[in-house]
Structure 1
Amino acid sequence: MSTKGWTVGSGTAPDGSSRSDEEWERFLRESVAGAADAPKEPSARAREVAQRLRSEPDRGTGGWRSYTPAQPKRRTGWYVAGIAAALMLLVVALAPGRVLDLFSGSDSTPLAAESGKPTQAPPTDTAQRPTADEPFRGSPAARWANGADGITVPKAEPVGWMSEGEVDKALARTRDFLVAADLDRGVLRGERPKDAIALINPHQKDVQDLLDTAFRAPSEDNDPLLLFTRFEPSDTRLVGDIVKTRGRLSYEEGERGALNVTADVTFVYPVRPADGGDEILRTIVRRELVVSWDDPDKVITEPGTFSIVSYKYDVTNGGCGESTGYFTPPFGTEGRADENSEEIDPYDRSGPVAEGASDDESCRRATRS
């Protein structure tokens, strides 16, 4: 039972002073009445212990029944090792790919967007074959952006006859053309690129003649591959839903105050045989396209369309021989470039497109894919 701070002994308070007569009488009344919280007179043993404690003040400071456990020995080494192990497990859980990269020698950290012309080719990764689950494995494209996200669009400023807002819209529509021509799933499977063609000035006769002939009777001079990426669905199947891209748009003022937009973009397509074969290749196409957004007061055009100024492309693993209107990846041994063919690094974007290319440029041999 709590004594509420009271220590009773021979009519003295804890500090040794005498109790008043009123306090002593109240103690006696409460003891006789049996009050629930009435103090009890301590035993002789209790009085003896209390007296001893008052005479030994040093012991009273810590409590005579208090206990101070022994301090455990510090094990700093094990403690630090445990924290390091816990952090490593956290890293593995949050970013398993980065941990695997440390051991495989590759790096899957996404690259920053391309804002200017590169000065050198990307470094060579550890040689690893692509798989159905990782079709860009062992390729610089593993760090590239997906689809339209890999095409950098610069900040718009007024140019020629166009305001800042009009330039911004023209840049966006130029990228829309690249998406419709080289990323649209239907077009990649051989369908006619209607959305892309709709953005080309219908009054540009030479280009319209090319388009009229290319899909009907493809040839070296009238080939849909000059502007569009297509695979024959009976021969080739895309692996997964992702096409990796890297490139940029740039612009300047052209003739008659027109806005000239240049697109320089590399597309990487993982493909496999349509018959279910296990072989996976990467067809790599780098395109350079220059278009002119003309002043309708000076050039006959239609609103929302551009005229094509020039176009050229490099391709590796796209097949050799007579044009069929489709890229034909060389699965197995058929259609591969000759060992004596000119070599090209398809990921090197530091030089111009088709530098030193000959008539059989599509048959140049890739140093890596």
Structure 2
Amino acid sequence: MGAGTEPDGSSRSDEEWERFLRESVAGTADAPKEPSARARDVAQRLHGEPGHGPEGRRSHTPVRPERRTGRYVVGLLALLVLLVVALAPGRIVDLFAGADSPPSANHPAQVSPAEAAQRPTVDEPFRGSPAASWAGGAEGISVPKAGAVGWMSAAEVERALARSRDFLVASGLDRGVLRGERPEKAIALINPHQKDVQDLLKTAFRAPSEKNDPLLLFSRFQPSRTHLVGDVVKTRGGLTYREGERGALQVTADVTFVYPVTRADAGGDDEIVRTIVRRELVLSWDDPDKVITEPGTFSIVSYKYDMTNGGCGAPTGYFTPPFGTDRRADGSGKKVDPYDRSAPVGRGESSGDECGRATRS
């Protein structure tokens, strides 16, 4: 049997032999176990050509055939994304920020002019507001993973963080407190031996003033004047923590609350105003061996808040949202965006700043 012939006597061209050997090297199912002399000659010649040297399996990278259809699909998807961004940029921002985001997601969400122009209703009190996409109640207050800090183990830090959020719920979300009731559950979490805060609590509810105002720590509306709309208060923000003085666990809460309210005697008038409050509280869970405290309580290091659509003038102990003509006259100060959480909270114990005018609610 001569070189270049098959067992049946037929012959193959050099091109066919080269193709056959390439397929054999690639591992086709019908590759011959023992090539003929001609096959060996052609194989040696192929291995001498550039690009046909031996290659290890780990470095083998198959080349996939180009598909023009894929380019068209990718281009179509890109056009759709650009269209969505142009029509509803706020939705894209909220998609990446998320309702459960930590406080670092502080830049204000955007809504389109058409959305912002929509009036809130009793059934949709957050309509036209960036808060429409926020979580409600405690779900909007994020809590970080706990680790050991100072005198506390990781498990103790976890309990302290949970109780810190409990204070935010009891002081800013409890329905009774929002209707003007005394915030007993929240007060029970404050160190009873902290004299300055206890003095504030004794005076604030009886004779509110700029220095001793319950609104510094609690959200309250006067039920004879204002009614809350619906059962949901929208929230965004959360807790952070670090080691404080004398090895204490220091927790910082930075949370924005959005309260939809209407006039108590509205009758057929369903004008809805959203009072927006951003609070910053710094709490210290002290080592009882170093600070006089009670188990399960914290000391308040500082407290401050920003508020829009909550009323101006002398403190009354309640938020007093403006309605009708009062709303147009209220807020003679600088314009502020109550949803912008990128700037530090400005209002404190002795603040005498005039009310800001909300650019949106």
TM-score by length of 2: 0.70
Question: Which of 335, 340, 343 is matched with 2:335 structurally?
Answer: 343
Distance 1:336 1:328, change over 3 A: farther
Matched, 1:213 2:203: yes
1:245–1:362: structure 2 CA closer, same or farther, 3 Å change rule? farther
CA distance in 1, matches of 2:319, 2:123: 23
User: Alpha carbons of 1:238 and 1:207: their partners in 2 closer, same or farther (altered >3 Å)?
Assistant: same
Q: What are the residue-to-residue correspondences of 1:263-278 with 2, within 5 Å?
A: 263-276=253-266, 277-278=269-270
**Among residues 195, 200, 219, which one is paired with 2:185 in the alignment?**
195
- TM-score of the pair, normalised by structure 1: 0.69
What is the match of residue 24 of structure 2? Answer: none
Matched, 1:114 2:101: yes
Which among 148, 152, 173 is matched to residue 183 of structure 1?
173
Counting aligned pairs with the same residue, the percent is 71
Which of 136, 139, 154 is matched with 1:146 structurally? 136
Question: In the TM superposition, what whole-angstrom CA distance separates every residue of 1:34-72 from its partner, at most 9, and x where no partner exists?
Answer: xxxxxxxxxxxxxxxxxxxxxxxxxxxxxxxxxxxxxxx
SS in 2 for 1:334: helix
Quote the offset at 1:334 in angstroms.
2.0
Q: Give the partner amino acid of 1:248.
A: G
Q: How does 1:163-312 map to 2 (within 5 A)?
A: 163-276=153-266, 277-312=269-304
Give the CA deviation at 1:363: 1.3
> In 2 relative to 1, CA 190–159 (structure 1 residues): closer, same or farther, beyond 3 Å?
same
Report deviation, 1:116.
Answer: 4.0
CA RMSD of aligned residues (A): 2.4
Matched pairs, number:
269
Query: Secondary structure of 1:333's partner?
Result: helix
- The one-character-per-residue Cα deviations of 1:122-162 (angstroms, maximum 9, x if unpaired) are 21332211111100001110110010000000000000000
Structure 2: which amino acid aligns with 1:114? S
2:325 aligned counterpart, secondary structure: coil
Name the CA shift for 1:346/1:119 in 2 (closer, same or farther; >3 Å): closer
Structure 2 CA distance for partners of 1:137 and 1:187, relative to 1, 3 Å: same
Shift of 1:117: 1.8
- Checking the alignment, whether the CA contact within 8 Å between 1:320 and 1:362 is kept in structure 2 is yes
Quote the offset at 1:231 in angstroms. Answer: 0.1
Separation (CA, whole Å) in 2 of partners of 1:328 and 1:159 = 41
Runs of 5+ consecutive residues of structure 2 not aligned to the other structure: 1-85
The one-letter code of the counterpart of 1:257 is G
Unaligned runs of 5+ in 1: 1-101
The residue type paired with residue 200 of structure 1 is I
| Structure ID, larger Rg | 1
> In structure 2, what residue type is equivalent to 1:312?
K
Partner-residue secondary structure (3-state), 1:142: helix
CA–CA separation in structure 2 for the residues paired with 1:356 and 1:188? 21
Give the corresponding residue for 1:322: 314
Cα pair distance change 1:119/1:216, threshold 3 Å: closer
Deviation at 1:169, TM superposition (A): 0.2
Match of 2:125 among 129, 132, 135: 135
1:357 & 1:123 partners in 2: Cα distance?
31
Q: Choose which of 338, 346, 358 in structure 2 pairs with 1:354.
A: 346
Residue type at the aligned position of 1:297: D
Cα drift, residue 339 of structure 1: 6.6
**Alpha-carbon distance, 1:112 to partner:** 3.9
Deviations 1:284-319 (A, max 9, x none): 000000000000000000000000000000000000
The alpha carbon displacement at 1:361 in A equals: 3.8
Distance, in Å, in 1 between the alignment partners of 2:141 and 2:360 is 22
